[in-house]
Structures are given as structure tokens and as C-alpha cells.
Structure 1
Amino acid sequence: MMKNVDKNAIATHSFDWGLIKWSVTPDSIEGAKVTFGEVVLLPGKGHDRHNHPDSEEILYVLSGEGEQTIGDGEPFPVKAGDVIYIPTAAFHSTYNTGWETLRLLAFYNPGGAEKGLTGLPDFQELPAGEIQSYTRTK
């Protein structure tokens, strides 16, 4: 039985807006029923409004500051220490409004919703140990 997950030994999912490392998924850990990962949103970037039809989501903000939407509600600010609950199938988005990266822990219950991200047009998978570089475009 696995006791810990080495983040350097798992792939990184890369998008135009940031990165995700899924440490626990039902496909990667035998018997796991949830998904857990770390999300990094680049300054001024975020993911578009979307939903997870079969999973609720919890976000925990580790660092940075941003703006969150859930359902048809008004956007609200988020910062380090905040916990955001997103009900099953609720549309939502998260944007980094600060100058530093916005780091989040993401949980899906039940797990599996992460598979939908692999179909996005900007998705790339970096092999374990490969490091994503940040570059300035202008």
C-alpha cells in the first residue's frame, strides 16, 4: 500500500492558464474514490466557466489572490486560507487577479472529473520530472 506520493514522480498537466499535479486519482491510486491535486494559476490567467456534472469540488487557497464565481452568483475575491465549496454540476471559474501565482488545492468527490481537462485544446502533459518554464510573451 502506498503511503505517500512523490510529486516529482507524477506527470504535470499544463494549460495556457497554468499547471496541475494530480497526486491522487481513482486511476492512479488503487482504491481511491476522490481526486486531489495542486493547481497553479498564472498571474492574470484563469480557467473559463465550466462544471463537473458528477462531482462536487472543494478548493483551498494556498497563496495568491483571485476571483471566484459559482453558479450565477457575482464574482467574489479569494485569498490564502479561503475554502471554496462548489456543488456537484455547478458552473464555476477561478481567475488570478494578482501579480504572483495563485496556488490552490483541489478535491473532487467522487474523483474522475480531472479526466475532462485532458480534452481541452490547450492541454499538454509533461512527463514526470519535466519542469514547465514560465516565459514572458511581450
Structure 2
Amino acid sequence: MHRTPDSLPTMVFDWGSIKWHVTPSGVEGASSSLGEVVINPGKGHDRHEHLHSDEVLYIIEGEGRQTVGDGPEFTVRAGDAVWIPMGTLHSTFNTGWRPLRIIATYTPGGAEEALRDLPDFVELAPGEHPVWAVASE
């Protein structure tokens, strides 16, 4: 199966966006999930956990801070990979001036469905693109 970014909806949050290319609900027979995450400069998501899925993050572009469990915060950069065991609290923040782009996987897939319950969740239709504005003071 071949899927292009413009054929997929986009999950948008106050910190960035996600396009899920493969999910159990979107691809027949898929048992894992794979998506591209974009975290905007100066933004990130609070500590959270996925009780029933391991997560792997692969940093494509940018630089950020990562936490995993009770371990110390550490820097992530393009080319780094992070494994987050199921049920482990974690967070990711963009510390650079450009978008932090990440490939995220869940095994087993399906944990992405919980993102729909977040208060800042908006879904854009396939082909629509998020617009980010600079805040004025």
C-alpha cells in the first residue's frame, strides 16, 4: 500500500502536527503505527504515557530535549533514535529555531487514537495544511 502525505488527514495541536501514514484503523492488517511528527520551535508536549504500546522516535531534523521515565533530560538531534517502553512517562520539546521532525512508531499500534481526546486536538482533512502564525505582543 502506498500513501502520500496529501492523501492523509493531519492531527493539529498547539505544539505542532502529526500525519499518521500507517495505523491499524487506516491500513488493513497493520499491527503497528507510523507517523511523522512536527514540533514547532519553542513548543513541545507534556509528559504522558502509552499504557499498551512501546514507542520509537527517530529524529529526522532539528534539535530538542527528551525525557524518558525517571532518567535525566537529554538532547536529541537528527539521526538519534529513542525507545520508550510501554507505560513509561516521556516528553519532547523543540529547543531549536526550525521545526523538530520525528518519525514515531507505536507497537502495537493504536495509541494514536487517544490523541483525539486532547483538548487542543483539531483534525484537518486530507490536502489541508496547518498554518502557523507568529504571536504578537
1:63-98 Cα distance to aligned partner (Å, 9 max, x none): 000000000111100000000000111000000000
Aligned partner of residue 13 in structure 1, secondary structure: strand
Q: Kindly indicate whether residue 43 of structure 2 is the aligned counterpart of residue 71 of structure 1.
A: no
1:27-106 superposed matches below 5 A = 27-106=25-104
Give the letter for the 2:10 counterpart: T
- Quote the RMSD (CA, aligned, Å): 0.5
Aligned partner of residue 60 in structure 2, secondary structure: strand
The answer for the alignment partner of 2:12 in structure 1 is: 14
Cα offset for 1:47? Answer: 0.7
1:75-131 Cα distance to aligned partner (Å, 9 max, x none): 100000000000111000000000100000000000000011110000000000001
- Structure 2 residues without counterparts, runs of 5 or longer: none
Counterpart-to-counterpart distance in 2, 1:114 and 1:130 = 20
Pick from 124, 129, 132: which aligns with 1:131?
Answer: 129
List, as ranges, runs of 4+ consecutive aligned residues in structure 1 with deviation greater than 2 Å: none
Cα offset for 1:6? Answer: 1.3
Q: How many residues align?
A: 136
Percent of pairs identical after alignment? 53
Counterpart-to-counterpart distance in 1, 2:131 and 2:86 = 34
Cα offset for 1:7? Answer: 1.2
Cα offset for 1:134? Answer: 1.2
